[in-house]
Structure 1
């Protein structure tokens, strides 16, 4: 797909109001923002529109009020931190439609920034209701979607508005789409996928899609145990979906037919419980004890994964290789992540990662900034990896 971006807008946007869908569903504690990453992500789009003379009107959800006005889910606490980041006063509309919205936008004036109240206070948002879309559209002359993280939802502010106003991808959305295209759309080959996590059942669609697109796929985390068990390995007391053994064998057969090499653990790290600093052992696959829990990939497995990275031009990563939150079972994930980051920093690898646990693991490894791109989009990133069409993205196609 090709998309209209802000570069396709006229240079002079004076007198125009841009409705910009952002994702300001930020972490909060005691009424204060605890992580302003998503606020900062919106700044390039806001500044580019303001530089053209446009009035910027921000739309976002916060939490799940289910179509009702819930005071604790108001976006008003974001006005002050956003104002500080922009270095200017941000107007706040106590509603996202009607007179309250119009008055706040008018008060901001040309080149101003207005944050409107939580769009999910209205049932028409999640219903993608035509009347609600029309009310939102009254506040703008053009629509910009800068929230890839919500693009898997066909809601009024994420998809509906793109059909009634001239629609464009914002700067953050463009970076995300460019990175994803580089990772799976038209990547430099060979392409290596790294998929971890606890359960095969939660990533069946992902695995089915990837084995047809990758040159190699490394499987780690608890889900690797299911594949090992399907090959006859006794995984002891480990997390394992034994009922999915046949499914795992089908995925392995599909990968083989598609020419995708599967990389499974060749050794593992085990312990009797998931506790920090507990006694643990590196085990060969034929030496796993009945009461052993597999909690991390072993050193030979990590070395094989790093060698696969050395032989690849692109890596796309979703999910940790072990219980990285509990040392010492973070070793393989951290080791592999830092290796990928070093290759990316040296220009030898396009390294793209995404998913909540993945981002947390890369942050723990202190190598997030060295990856080519790290998506914080969560569900949207996973659905994209599964090969699904994202409504909010499709609506922006030229």
Structure 2
């Protein structure tokens, strides 16, 4: 897939360049009212592009959205903490206030686009995490300005394209998360590309329940049962958990119990218990599949990993993915955070900044932000 690169912009010296970044990072509010950035990975990821432009004499203006202020100014969602952090690395870059303080951003309003690019010569999109959105700052500027992909956006597109086009095999995808409905389209698309598909997290219980197994009070989506059954009947690529860590309604601590799997059922989750993580047998089984693969794509946690009682499965998978020795791509906020928190990021081939953008690209092979860049003036 061709996407214009920074070099395609020509001489940027003396030019004003608007760079769409993704500074939508997790923050917490301290008791004194100040905000603290929990993880600045996305901010740091934008630096190669911004520095490339600054070093070549461009006047650089960065912009981003933060949270969901619904078109109104909200002090708790100001971009100020992110700008402060960025200026520790690159004080020369001007940073605009949260784009979503204006309704025009999410409404893709052309008047907002024209106001945004007033006095701007060139546009660079480096916000892969927002490239799936038809928002003004993503698809608007390329209609009027010579545009290019930043280093981060270009790398994300290149890496994910390689997974779709020519992955080294065996190619294994690992998908977690709570709702199977959110990822059913991606599951179908990836089954045509992978050798094995490991499913965990809450979505796995819909597959188990669809084939008649008792999953206790675990989260399921009955509207998806027919599709789950059809997929399990049509392929042997899907690998489901064989045990879980569950929590009883009146219990304060997790307890292991068997959940079984479609092919070789091994027990039920008792009524009143809710599966919240894969168990040790599943972790071992998944690890074996991972260690025998050459390419791994992982998106979504295998349990409620923010709770230490239910984080062991996600950590076990993270460790296996970090050390299996092949090409690894990890995307999605929770799975990427698990890798970072475990100190394993340096072992991952590519840690994606995109959650929904990664999923949409893998499902459809393109994104609105990429399409806009390809159609921009040259």
What TM-score do the two structures reach when normalised by structure 1? 0.83
Q: Which runs of 5+ in 2 are unaligned?
A: none
Residue 261 of structure 1: which of 237, 259, 279 is its match?
237
Taking the aligned partners of 1:389 and 1:139, their CA distance within structure 2 comes to 30
Counterpart secondary structure, 1:396: helix
Taking the aligned partners of 2:278 and 2:78, their CA distance within structure 1 comes to 44
Contact 1:296 1:329 in 2 (8 A): yes
Distance 1:275 1:199, change over 3 A: farther
Distance 1:310 1:3, change over 3 A: same
Instruction: Look up the match of 2:183.
Output: 203
Distance 1:374 1:266, change over 3 A: same
Distance 1:226 1:25, change over 3 A: closer
**In the alignment, does 2:213 pair up with 1:233?**
yes
Q: Which moved more, 1:35-44 or 1:148-157?
A: 35-44
Instruction: Look up the match of 1:106.
Output: none
Taking the aligned partners of 2:293 and 2:362, their CA distance within structure 1 comes to 19
CA shift, 1:59, in A, is: 1.8
CA shift, 1:286, in A, is: 3.2
Contact 1:57 1:115 in 2 (8 A): yes
Taking the aligned partners of 2:247 and 2:99, their CA distance within structure 1 comes to 48
Query: Which digits, 9 at most, give the CA deviation of each residue in 1:146-199, with x for residues without a partner?
Result: 111111111221111012111111112122222212333432222111111222
Counterpart secondary structure, 1:286: coil
1:268-347 pair list within 5 angstroms: 268-273=244-249, 277-281=253-257, 285-291=265-271, 292-343=273-324
Distance 1:323 1:129, change over 3 A: closer
Distance 1:314 1:131, change over 3 A: same
Bigger Rg, structure 1 or 2: 1
CA shift, 1:203, in A, is: 1.9
Taking the aligned partners of 1:125 and 1:295, their CA distance within structure 2 comes to 37
Taking the aligned partners of 1:58 and 1:366, their CA distance within structure 2 comes to 29
Instruction: Look up the match of 1:387.
Output: 364
Instruction: Look up the match of 1:27.
Output: 26
Instruction: Look up the match of 2:9.
Output: 9
Taking the aligned partners of 1:79 and 1:270, their CA distance within structure 2 comes to 42
CA shift, 1:277, in A, is: 4.3
Distance 1:304 1:133, change over 3 A: same
Distance 1:247 1:9, change over 3 A: same
Instruction: Look up the match of 1:163.
Output: 143
Counterpart secondary structure, 2:374: coil
Query: Which digits, 9 at most, give the CA deviation of each residue in 1:331-350, with x for residues without a partner?
Result: 2221121011012xxxx311
Instruction: Look up the match of 1:60.
Output: 64
Taking the aligned partners of 1:192 and 1:129, their CA distance within structure 2 comes to 41
Counterpart secondary structure, 2:328: strand
CA shift, 1:208, in A, is: 1.9
Taking the aligned partners of 1:328 and 1:77, their CA distance within structure 2 comes to 32
CA shift, 1:145, in A, is: 0.3
Residue 138 of structure 1: which of 118, 127, 130 is its match?
118
CA shift, 1:211, in A, is: 1.4
Q: Which moved more, 1:200-209 or 1:215-224?
A: 200-209
Contact 2:133 2:368 in 1 (8 A): yes
Contact 1:225 1:240 in 2 (8 A): yes
Contact 2:9 2:147 in 1 (8 A): no
Contact 1:133 1:157 in 2 (8 A): yes
Counterpart secondary structure, 2:14: coil
Instruction: Look up the match of 1:129.
Output: 109
Taking the aligned partners of 1:172 and 1:213, their CA distance within structure 2 comes to 25
Contact 2:332 2:355 in 1 (8 A): yes
Distance 1:282 1:230, change over 3 A: closer
What TM-score do the two structures reach when normalised by structure 2? 0.87
Instruction: Look up the match of 1:370.
Output: 347
Counterpart secondary structure, 2:24: coil
Q: Which runs of 5+ in 1 are unaligned?
A: 91-112
